[in-house]
Amino acid sequence: MSEEKMVSLNTIDDQLIKKAADEGIETMWDRKKAMKAPCGFGEKGVCCRICGMGPCRVSPVAGKGAQKGICGATADTIVARNFARMVAAGTASHSDHARDIAHVLHMASRDGNYQVQDEKKLIALAQEWEVPTEGRDIYDVAHEVAEIALNEFGKPFGTLRFPDRAPAPRRKIWEELNIMPRAIDREIATIMHSTHMGCTSDAESLLRLSMRTSLANGWGGSMLGTELSDIVFGTSTPRMTEANLGVLEEKQVNILLHGHDPCLSEMIVAAAQDPEMIKLTEEVGAEGINLAGMCCTGNEVTMRHGVKIAGTFYQQELAVLTGAIEAVIVDVQCIFPSLAPITDCYHTKFITTSPKAKITGATHIEFNEEKALESAKVIVREAIENYKNRKQDKVFIPQSKAQAITGYSNEAVIKQLDRVVNSNIDPQGTVKPLADVIKAGVLRGAAGIVGCNNIKTKHEYSHIEIMKKLIANDVIVVTTGCAAQAAAKAGLLSKDAIKLAGKGLQAVCELVDIPPVIHLGSCVDNTRIIRLVSAVSEHLGVDNSDLPVVGVAPEWMSEKAVAIGTYVVSSGIDVFLGITPPVTGSPEFVDLLTNKIEDMTGAKFFIDENPLTLADKILERIEEKRTKLEARL
């Protein structure tokens, strides 16, 4: 198959798609073909179905066709309203995930399934929130912290706590713009209210509401997700793993963990090590249990346990097509409903576990956090007992995988940086070495390359091209989500990739002993990135928007990504999008996102679907920011 026709960077994916065609199984690529051209109105964001008088489709071309909806809403209103609702949905998803983790912290106990794994981090958070810790049982502290966290969702007065962690100039901007986020659920509800028929119609006001809600995600729900997961499941440390569908094992029970919520996957990891389960595995004639992760659940378990990465978002159907998976165990988000009919073509069990994500045709075994391990064992047992049903003639495991280092928390990054600190002169445990090399220009800047895969592009091509170009130009890359898994598969998360870096980055990687692309976790862990950037800003006495630092979402697709992009720009960091969001029907809203928002936040969106020119624009912007920064420092 020629390079252009490949659906992804990996030839193995095309082999599996061919297998699907041979076996008469439908995949996302077939459905994309059946979809023909996308709806032009939807693509431009000018379709409104917010009230029963619609749907109203207004013309994206000025002066031609219907210019207003029945109520008089213009393209600007409709586009901005649709955008705001995407931000609200993304914020809801990340934050509701965090809420579940807060509940688990609230039920954690010394002899329970969930325990406090990182006491130091818990104590630090307790002190930040002025919870007494002296002489108290750590679990009393944990429960009080969890309760405060839960109150962040619905407190009636005041603003959120975590924005206090942002650099002072940034907080001032949020206050002046009146976008300091209040309770998390409140910001989501306010957007839903303001975008109801007949409420806010002004595009700029809708953008400001979106910014405030997105901040309730980045400096609220998502940040709680990261912090509380570290407390309950442990703060991650670097570990070796392998990535791509070649991690599936011929002679073992293969379990695919897919979704987002570590409350389930952590227990599956524990259940897979349970003697009773191991005995059962022997009884069915398998040589072991092989867990493989996908999407953000995959990131959560690889960063804390080194669980292998089966692949990214777009490979979920392909993984089943190997015919070698006994069970796909899912929790919430980014799960294709098509996994039900595809798993039906094999022996594979498709097990949903969350009442928030029931899928037609799946086997639903509800995960009960109160009896977490027991519940996980029931699910793992299903998988093991299914091993005997595997049809060998339908199995094809592509022999492709790469080595990767995953699991750099900010704490782990700082520990690596300590290697170059002369403790006679400088204190340990700070970002000073990172700030120093950025200031000196050894590193030209830093990029957070994050987000999904999208069928509108050749999968992973944009991620990998941009990562390679940036590291070759001495821009260090941190990565999360499916972008991180793409990097793992391409070998960029290994120290072997240091040779692809420019001289400056090579020197840094060797001294600090890190790969040039650093795995920082799942998508909620983008909060690790904004905290790292904020720490460097504070160290240099500047604001985030002064740093040569960018966010990039080359292949984004989810509403969560829209919320992330918005909180990153609101946090003062430019965001480069490789997929055009559905906003082009409103030149005013496009101007707000790609121009005017800079006057408010010091950062803006850049949109370019060509990854090569997008990378050029990133490098150009980094140099522009450098020039300004050098003049200031």
Report the nearest approach of ligand SF4 to the CB of residue 76 (Å).
Answer: 12
50 touches ligand SF4 (CB under 6 A):
yes
Q: CB nearer to ligand SF4: give 1 or 70.
A: 70
State the residues that interact with ligand NFS by CB under 6 A: 260, 295-296, 313, 334, 451-452, 481-482, 523, 558, 560-561
Output b/e per residue, 300-310; b: 16+ Cβ within 10 A. Answer: bbbbbbbbbbb
Radius of gyration of the CA atoms of the chain, in A = 24
482 binds, among ligand NFS, ligand SF4, none (CB under 5 to 8 A by kind): ligand NFS
CA dihedral 609, 612, 614, 620 (to 10 degrees): -160
The bridge status of strand 289-294 relative to strand 308-311 is parallel
Report the nearest approach of ligand NFS to the CB of residue 315 (Å).
Answer: 11
Report the nearest approach of ligand SF4 to the CB of residue 47 (Å).
Answer: 9
257 binds, among ligand NFS, ligand SF4, none (CB under 5 to 8 A by kind): none
Q: CB nearer to ligand SF4: give 86 or 263.
A: 86
The bridge status of strand 445-449 relative to strand 475-480 is parallel
35 binds, among ligand SF4, ligand NFS, none (CB under 5 to 8 A by kind): none
Rounded Cα–Cα distance for residues 368 and 521 (Å): 25
Rounded Cα–Cα distance for residues 128 and 200 (Å): 37
- Strands of the sheet containing 605-607, edge to edge, are 517-521, 475-480, 445-449, 549-553, 574-577, 605-607
296 binds, among ligand NFS, ligand SF4, none (CB under 5 to 8 A by kind): ligand NFS
Q: CB nearer to ligand SF4: give 8 or 77.
A: 77
The 531-550 contact track toward ligand SF4, x by CB under 6 A, reads: --------------------
114 binds, among ligand NFS, ligand SF4, none (CB under 5 to 8 A by kind): none
Q: CB nearer to ligand SF4: give 16 or 73.
A: 73
3-state helix, strand, coil in the chain (%, to 5): 55, 10, 35
Rounded Cα–Cα distance for residues 569 and 560 (Å): 14
- Strands of the sheet containing 253-258, edge to edge, are 363-364, 349-352, 327-330, 253-258, 289-294, 308-311, 239-243, 402-406
Rounded Cα–Cα distance for residues 230 and 241 (Å): 20
Report the nearest approach of ligand SF4 to the CB of residue 332 (Å).
Answer: 30
Report the nearest approach of ligand SF4 to the CB of residue 209 (Å).
Answer: 17
Rounded Cα–Cα distance for residues 128 and 114 (Å): 23
CA dihedral 382, 383, 384, 388 (to 10 degrees): 100
Q: What's CA 263's distance to the chain center, in Å?
A: 17
Among candidates 171, 95, 87, 94, which has minimal Cα distance to 572? Answer: 171
- How many amino acids of this chain bind ligand SF4 (CB under 6 A)? 13
Report the nearest approach of ligand NFS to the CB of residue 476 (Å).
Answer: 20
Report the nearest approach of ligand NFS to the CB of residue 559 (Å).
Answer: 8
150 touches ligand SF4 (CB under 6 A):
no
DSSP characters for 587-616? HHHHHIIIIIHHHHHS--EEE-S-HHHHHH
Q: CB nearer to ligand SF4: give 73 or 492.
A: 73
Q: In sequence order, what are the beta bridge partners of 459?
A: 8
Report the nearest approach of ligand SF4 to the CB of residue 53 (Å).
Answer: 4
Among candidates 56, 55, 92, 84, which has minimal Cα distance to 199? Answer: 84
Q: CB nearer to ligand NFS: give 255 or 334.
A: 334
Binding range to ligand SF4, per CB under 6 A, among 44-52, 218-226, 270-278, 579-587: 44-52
User: Hey, is 586 helix, strand or coil?
Assistant: coil
Binding range to ligand SF4, per CB under 6 A, among 23-31, 53-61, 208-216, 454-462: 53-61
Report the nearest approach of ligand SF4 to the CB of residue 587 (Å).
Answer: 18
216 binds, among ligand SF4, ligand NFS, none (CB under 5 to 8 A by kind): none
69 touches ligand SF4 (CB under 6 A):
yes
Q: CB nearer to ligand NFS: give 58 or 482.
A: 482
71 binds, among ligand NFS, ligand SF4, none (CB under 5 to 8 A by kind): ligand SF4
Residue 510 tokens read as 């060797």
Report the nearest approach of ligand SF4 to the CB of residue 549 (Å).
Answer: 39
Report the nearest approach of ligand NFS to the CB of residue 225 (Å).
Answer: 10
505 binds, among ligand SF4, ligand NFS, none (CB under 5 to 8 A by kind): none
Report the nearest approach of ligand NFS to the CB of residue 334 (Å).
Answer: 3
The bridge status of strand 605-607 relative to strand 574-577 is parallel
User: Hey, is 467 helix, strand or coil?
Assistant: helix
Among candidates 539, 524, 550, 545, which has minimal Cα distance to 603? Answer: 545
Q: CB nearer to ligand SF4: give 52 or 63.
A: 52
Binding range to ligand SF4, per CB under 6 A, among 46-54, 302-310, 414-422, 622-630: 46-54
Q: What's CA 400's distance to the chain center, in Å?
A: 24
Report the nearest approach of ligand NFS to the CB of residue 388 (Å).
Answer: 32
DSSP characters for 231-290? HHH-----EEEEESGGGS-TTSEEEEEESS-HHHHHHHHHHHT-HHHHHHHHHTT-S-EE
Q: What are phi and psi of 11, to 5 degrees?
A: -65, -30
508 binds, among ligand NFS, ligand SF4, none (CB under 5 to 8 A by kind): none
49 binds, among ligand NFS, ligand SF4, none (CB under 5 to 8 A by kind): ligand SF4
61 binds, among ligand NFS, ligand SF4, none (CB under 5 to 8 A by kind): none
53 binds, among ligand SF4, ligand NFS, none (CB under 5 to 8 A by kind): ligand SF4
DSSP characters for 80-110? HHHHHHHHHHHHHHHHHHHHHHHHHHHH--T
Tokens 């440390």, located at residue: 237
Report the nearest approach of ligand NFS to the CB of residue 256 (Å).
Answer: 13
Tell which positions 185-214 bind ligand SF4, by CB under 6 A: 197
51 touches ligand SF4 (CB under 6 A):
yes
66 touches ligand SF4 (CB under 6 A):
no
Rounded Cα–Cα distance for residues 448 and 482 (Å): 13
Tell which positions 70-109 bind ligand SF4, by CB under 6 A: 70-71, 73
Binding site residues, ligand SF4, CB under 6 A: 48-51, 53-56, 69-71, 73, 197
